[in-house]
Amino acid sequence: MRSRWMQLVAVLFVFVFAAISLIQQIALPDFNGFTRQTASFLNLLLFLLPLFILTIGSMGVASDLESGWFSLLKTYPMTITQYIFGKYIALILSFMLILCLAFAVVLGMSGISGQVHLPLLFVGLSIMTVLLFSSIAILCGSFAKNRLHALALSLVVWAVSLLLLSYALMAIGTVVAGHVLQKLTIIMLHINPAEWVRFGYFLFSDQTSVLGPSFYSFTEFYSSTVGYVLYAVVTILWIVIPLVFAKWVLMKRGRQA
C-alpha cells in the first residue's frame, strides 16, 4: 500500500481501464455478445492485472527473504503458513482496492455519458484473476533468490501463460490433426490460469459458441451443474496448490539457511 510503485500502478490501471471503456463505447452502439469491445476489455484484464500482481507480489516476498525480514519473522511465534496466508491476503486486498477504484471511475463515467457500462461479469472475473495470480505471485517470490530474480521469474511466468503457451499451441496446430489440437487446447486451458479466466468469461456469459463447434461437447459439459462445480474446484486448486507449494519451498529454504 505504502509503496510509490503501487500508487503508480493504481493510477495507470484506472486510466487505461477508463480510457478503453470510453473510447470503445463512443465508437460503437451498445450490444451484448462477444464483440471487439468486450474482447479488448477482457484482454486488458488478462494482460495488465497478472503482470502487476505477479511482479509486485513476488518482489514483496523476495524482499522479505532477501532482507532477512523473513528470518526475523521466524523468531516470532508465527508459522510459515501464517506468513504466507498473511502475505496473500494483503496482496489481494491491495489489488481489490485498485480494482474498486477503477470500477468506481468507470461507473462515474457511465453517469456522464450514459454509454459506458461495466458488466458484473467483468467485476467477478477481475476478482478471480486477483485470487489466482496472487497465489502464483507468492510462489514465484518464494523461489526467487533476490528481488531481481523474482521480477525476472514473474515476467517469465506472465509471458508463458499469456503468450508463449498459446503461440506454441498454434504452431503445433499447423502440423498436427484438428482433433489433436483440440485436445491440446483443452489441456492447455486447464494448466494455464490466464486461459482459465478467459474460458470462465465465455462460460459464464453463456457465449461458449464463440469458441467454435469443435469445443461443443466440452463446453456443454462445463455448462452443466457438474461442470460449474468442477470449474469452482479447479479454480480453488489453482489458489491452494501454489500456496501449499510455496510453503514447502520456504520450509526447505528455512532448513538450509
Partner 1 sequence: MKRVLLLVILFIAFMLSVPQAHAKTKTLQQLIDETPENGTLQLSNVLYKENVVIHKNITIKGTEHTVLESLNQKPVIQIENAEHVSINNVTLQNSYLGITGEKSQHLHFENLHFKNMRSGIQLYNTNNVTLKHLKITGIQGHYSNKGNGIALYNSANVKVQGNNIQHVQDGVYIESVNHISLSENKIDNGRYGIHFMYTKNAQATGNTFKKNVTGIMLMMSQNVKMYDNHLYDQNGLNASGMTLFQSKYIKVFANIFQNNRTAISAQNLTNSTMKNNVLLMNQSAIELIRSNEKNQVKRNNFIGNIVNLRSDGTGSQIVQNYYDDYAGIDVNNDGIGDRNYVALQSFGQWMVRQPAYQYFIESPSVVLLNEIDRQTNIIEKEQLVDQEPLMQSTMTIERKNTWNFWKLVLGVGLVFTILWFWRKEIQG
Partner 2 sequence: MKKRWLVGIFAIVLCLQACGNKEYKPRKIVSETDICKICNMSIVHKEYAGEIALKNGDYEIFDDLGCLVEYMKDMDEDDLGKAFIKDKSGKKWLDVKTASYVYDKDIWTPMSYGVIAFQTKDEAKKYIEKEGKGELLSYSDLDTFKWGVHH
Report the interface residues with partner 1, using CB under 8 A.
1-2, 27-29, 31, 33-37, 39-40, 43, 46-47, 97, 100-101, 103-115, 162-163, 166-167, 170, 173-174, 178-179, 181-182, 185, 194-195, 198, 209-216
Question: Which is nearer to partner 1, 31 or 76 (by Cβ)?
Answer: 31
Angle at 192 between CA 156 and CA 253, to 5 degrees: 55
- Tell me the chain's radius of gyration from C-alpha atoms: 20
- Are the CB atoms for 193 and 140 separated by under 8 Å? no
Q: In whole angstroms, how close is the CB of 255 to partner 2 at the nearest point?
A: 23
For residues 123 and 17, give the distance between their C-alpha atoms in angstroms, rounded to a whole number: 12
Binders of partner 2 in range 213-252 (CB under 8 A): 213-214, 216-217
Which residue lies nearer to partner 2 by CB, 28 or 176? Answer: 176
Dist CA 184 CA 240 (whole Å): 24
Task: Decide: is 176 part of the binding site for partner 2 (CB under 8 A).
Answer: yes
Q: How far is the CB of 257 from partner 2 (least distance, A)?
A: 24
Q: By rule CB under 8 A, what count of residues binds partner 2?
A: 14
Q: Tell me the three cell numbers of residue 17.
A: 481501464
Q: Among residues 65 and 195, whose Cβ is nearest to partner 1?
A: 195
173: partner contacted, choices partner 1, partner 2, none (Cβ within 5-8 A by kind): partner 1
Rounded-to-integer distance, Cα 131 and Cα 77, Å: 27
What is the DSSP code string of 178-215? HHHHHHHHHHHHHH-HHHHHHHHHHHHTT-GGGG-GGG
Q: Which does 93 bind (CB under 5 to 8 A by kind): partner 1, partner 2, none?
A: none
Residue 12 touching partner 2 (CB under 8 A): no
User: Do the Cβ atoms of 184 and 33 come closer than 8 Å?
Assistant: no
CA distance 71 to 76: 9
Nearer to partner 1, 146 or 182 (CB): 182
When asked if residue 172 is in the footprint of partner 2 (CB under 8 A), the reply is yes
Query: What size, in residues, is the chain?
Result: 257
What is the nearest approach in angstroms of partner 2 to the Cβ of residue 130? 27
**Nearer Cβ to partner 2 (127/173):** 173
Question: How many CB atoms lie under 10 A from the CB of residue 213?
Answer: 8
Distance in Å, CB of 139 to partner 1, minimum: 22
Buried-state track 133-167, b at ≥16 Cβ within 10 A, e below 16: bbbbbbbbbbbbeebebbbebbeebbeebbeebbe
Which range binds partner 2 by CB under 8 A, 24-32, 35-43, 175-183, 228-236? 175-183
27, 178, 225, 255: which one binds partner 2 (CB under 8 A): 178
Residues in contact with partner 2 by CB under 8 A are 168, 172, 176-180, 183-184, 187, 213-214, 216-217
